[in-house]
A = this chain, B = another copy of it.
Amino acid sequence: MNTQQYMEQLETLDIRMSSLTYTSALMGWDSMTLASKKGVDARSSVIGNMSELFFTSLINDEVKEMLDYLTEHKSELDETIAAKVRLYLKDYNEIMKIPKDEYAAYQALISKSNLAWEEAREKNDFSIFAPYLDQVLKAKKKFVKYRGYEGHPYNTLLDDYEDGLTVEAADEFFSNLKAKIVPLVKRIQAKEAPKNAFLDLTYDISKQKEYSKYMMEVLNFRMDCGCLAESAHPFTMNLSREDVRITTKFYEKDLLSSISSTIHETGHALYEQNISPDFGVSILTSGTSMGIHESQSRLYENNFGRSLPFWHKHYGRLQDLYPEQLGNISVEDFQKSLNTVKPSLIRIDADEVTYPLHVMVRYEMEKMIMSDDVNVDELPRLWNDKYEEYLGVRPETDSDGILQDVHWSEGLFGYFPSYALGSAYASQFEFYMRKDIDVDALLASGDMAPILKWLSEKIHVYGSSKIPSEIIEGATGEKFNPKYFVDYLETKYSAIYDL
């Protein structure tokens, strides 16, 4: 076999694996949006069987030989092919160490665990979810042992979502943030809180839906290449760059929730919709890491979607939908209430200043879990204690506490830190974007296209073909630097709160 033939073999593998990923993504989408709860047994059995197929398609001697050969002959490969080799080799090394049966059983478990979480959250009963979480954690820990780790066992999971991230680096990142954010929160809290009485009013849900679709459109979501649906926890699912779907959840008594989650998920979706079409059905047609993905969603949600120029353009439309509720509220007061800083219980509704503290709670708990410092039964209390310590608030129910996030039910450990990294990346991107284009003028005019163009050309188009550090350095000319985030928070909130 020569390089050409091995490259063809890689293409065949790429389409097979990406097809299996597509069906698995679709089953995930379906099970979170439409599928009957009672169908879980059949669905889990199918998911288990399909991941066995995923496993056997990747983990075999022919694939290993091909990947090894192409790795050795890397100099002969173009960038796209080299990126595919790198990614499949990473997957191969990750999975090959896990016994096939255990891998398939784990996939089936996740599907049931997710359903148990949903029920537990609905009924505010952690005990429904606990046995599943326990099994998921046992499997995760076992997998980390199979896969191996350097330093802390949590490192292996952190690296899954952000190439090269370690406990050491994350500890430093979070302790820096904490040192800056906690005093900032205190200075803000010393000031008068924005007058938010209008937020307690009732906001008709069908109008919220209309406004969510309007938001997607003005942010350049290609409406003929995706859709909006509803689910318990908002998420984005990319089937292909021409079929990227987002969900949100509507609350009659919480207008801002659907607006901000729609903008957030649209940020994710724009990334997926603007990956190079040249990649086709491929492992490259997907965002490169959770951190970079979150940088896109948070840039839209916070840096743009909570800014005054943005709302100068779009607030009128919202007032037209809700004249009774918003007719007498000025755009400045509306924007101020969008940026209300107030320590609270629910991560996805948190303001962007206290948000990293929510993430830190989860980060520290995951770290403890992975080093066997805590049992599943103790988690709700630990959660509540940490909220009290960092945020000064204590959940009264588990639904408002440990049951609020979907991630653990899906085995997504190591994922949360990427939310905070995403905010930090976003501010670095924005800083450099402002050197090239007049962001405020564009936000105020409603012309979001040049902003999307900047992001697409520097970030989106590459899909997974570059690693996060390459993306950051390529787009900004320097390494990741969290100071842009802290500066951004300082500047923005000094203005809003007149600090």
Chain A positions within 8 Å of B, measured between CB atoms, are: 15-16, 18-19, 22-23, 26-27, 30, 34-43, 45-46, 49-50, 53, 222, 224-227, 229, 239-243, 245, 280-281
Contact = CB atoms under 8 A, between A and B. Distances in A.
Contact of A30 (B30, B43, B281): B30
A81 B243 CA distance: 41
Contact of A38 (B37, B225, B280): B225
A240 B245 CA distance: 25
**Copies held by the complex:** 2
A242 B41 contact: yes
B224 A45 contact: no
- Among A39, A226, A229, the one with the most B-chain Cβ atoms within 10 Å of its Cβ is A39
A39 B242 contact: yes
B280 A226 contact: no
Given A22-B42, A30-B30, A242 B49 contact: no
Nearest to A24: B23
A349 to B, nearest CB: 28
Contacts of A49: 15-16, 19, 281
B227 A39 contact: no
Contact of A42 (B16, B53, B243): B243
Contact of A23 (B15, B38, B50, B242): B50
A195 to B, nearest CB: 37
B243 A38 contact: yes
A278 to B, nearest CB: 13
A468 to B, nearest CB: 25
Contacts of A239: 35, 39, 42-43
Contacts of A19: 45-46, 49-50, 53
Contacts of A16: 49, 53
Given A42-B239, A53-B53, 9 more contacts: A18-B46, A19-B53, A23-B26, A23-B46, A34-B229, A36-B224, A39-B239, A43-B240, A45-B281
13 contacts: A15-B49, A16-B53, A18-B46, A19-B49, A22-B42, A22-B46, A23-B23, A23-B46, A26-B26, A34-B227, A36-B226, A39-B225, A41-B242
A36 B281 contact: no
A212 B227 CA distance: 25
Nearest to A44: B281
Given A39-B242, A224-B37, A240-B42, A23 B30 contact: no
Contact of A45 (B26, B40, B280): B280
Contacts of A22: 42-43, 46
Given A19-B49, A46-B22, A50-B19, A36 B280 contact: no
